[in-house]
Amino acid sequence: VNTFVGSTGFILALYAAQAAAQTTQPQQPSHPSMAEVIAASKPGDWRPLEDENTLYVDLPAGRVIIELAPAFAPRHVENVRTLAREGYYDGLFITRSQDNYVAQWGDPDGKREMKKGSRTLPAEFERDVPASPGELPFTKLPDGDVYAKEVGFSRGMPAARDPGTNKAWLVHCYAMVGAGRDNTADSGGGAELYVVTGHAPRHLDRNVTLLGRVVKGMELLSSLPRGPQPMGFYDNPADRTPLVRVQVASDVPAAQRTSLEVLRTDTPTFAALVESRRNRPEAWFLHKADRVEICNVPLPVRPRR
């Protein structure tokens, strides 16, 4: 069976296999592979997901876990927490799955009552770069970007910066979560959320409030049947996938939480991981790209140790 290595997705399962391959096929790479970077990482290279910033979206097929991004969308994140806590999402549906684009959930009939949550909020498309770099670390990537002047990672999220305007914003990579809106900037709020399931639709950057990223369970969203209507809407309500329950992790009994940690993006270990993806030392790669685009940088996640 011909195969090829390398994944930008959820790679827990790959670590063991790649580590084994490294053991049985020793090489002399000029720099470590991603598997070696991960294997050599120290506990401090990882950070646990904060329960208050973690959303569990339970589908019939399993749990989707979203890390929220209050550093970029504080009001939207707070509203999503409020909506989850009042049970607003429970029993709503994934109403739309558009191929190579997004899956989106919400209230198909517009009849669901909202208690403390807000239906709309002022847009949080971008934010100021703080005066103190430590307030919002930014690990800039070396190879540029088609859409933004600078791209990199802030607190585990793909982000862009414009030194001219001193603004920062999250970017639409695979697995990013945003708040659907109508034609005006302030017409979204988080009652309808979409997740990127295809090639990064970067033209949406600064057009929508991104508020988090799926860190586990993406395959449950990406493998949904596509809806036959324009923009991937399902025409038959029975084809919609229900949201069984949506909870903030801190509201879930500790024993029922899915305890995860993610690789920090502001460490020498992460810089080594980026380099391992720019030039793959694995024997399979015959042409080294010497480049990596922001949405091709993996963001490792694993059970908390």
* Complex with its own copies: residue 175 or 249, whichever CB lies closer: 175
CB nearer its own copies, residue 120 or residue 258: 120
Contact track, its own copies, 189-228, x by CB under 8 A: --xx-x---xxxxxxxxxxx---------xx--xxxxx-x
**Interface region with its own copies, contact rule CB under 8 A, candidates 2-10, 45-53, 238-246, 254-262:** 2-10
Pick 82 or 125: Cβ nearer its own copies: 125
Of the residues 114, 185, 252, 271, which one makes contact with its own copies according to CB under 8 A: 185
Site string for its own copies, 19-58 (x = CB under 8 A): ----------------------------------------
**DSSP SS3 for 62:** strand
Tell the smallest beta-carbon distance from residue 226 to its own copies (Å). Answer: 4
Indicate the SS3 state at residue 212.
strand
Q: What tokens appear for 22 in the block?
A: 């490294």
How many residues bind its own copies (CB under 8 A)? The answer is 80
Residue 295: CB minimum distance to its own copies, A = 5
Name the residue among 298, 268, 278 with its Cα closest to residue 30. 278
Interacting stretch for its own copies, rule CB under 8 A, among 12-20, 26-34, 45-53, 75-83? 12-20
Q: Compare residues 287 and 305 and give the one whose CB is closer to its own copies.
A: 287
Q: From the CA atom positions of the chain, what is the Rg in Å?
A: 20
In order, the DSSP letters of 110-142 are S----SSS-S-----S-EEPPSSGGGS--EE-T
What residue spans of 91-226 are helical by DSSP H? 218-222
How many C-alpha atoms does 209 have within 13 Å on its Cβ side? 33
Give the Cα separation of 67 and 242 in Å (integer): 21
Task: Verify binding: residue 235, its own copies, rule CB under 8 A.
Answer: no
Backbone angles phi, psi at 40, to 5 degrees: -90, -5
Q: Quick one: tokens of 287? A: 């042409």
CB 80 within 8 A of CB 190: yes
| Site string (261-300) toward its own copies, x via CB under 8 A | ----------------x--x--xxxxx-x-xxx-xx----
- End-to-end, the C-alpha distance of the chain in Å comes to 35
| Residues in 137-166 at the binding interface with its own copies, rule: CB under 8 A | 143-147
The binder of its own copies chosen from 76, 155, 161, 181 (CB under 8 A): 181
Asked if 14 is part of the footprint of its own copies (rule: CB under 8 A), the reply reads yes
What does the per-residue mask of binding to its own copies show for 95-114, with x meaning CB under 8 A? xxxxxxx--x-xxx-x----
Query: Least separation, in Å, of the C-beta of 190 and its own copies?
Result: 10
- Min dist. Cβ of residue 46 to its own copies (A): 21
Q: Is 187 strand, coil or helix?
A: helix
Q: DSSP assignment, residue 72?
A: T
The partner residues of 56 in beta bridges, in order of sequence, read 65, 247
The CA-CA-CA angle for residues 111, 85, 53, to 5°, reads: 125
**CB closer to its own copies, 78 vs 285:** 285
CB 275 to its own copies: min, Å: 13
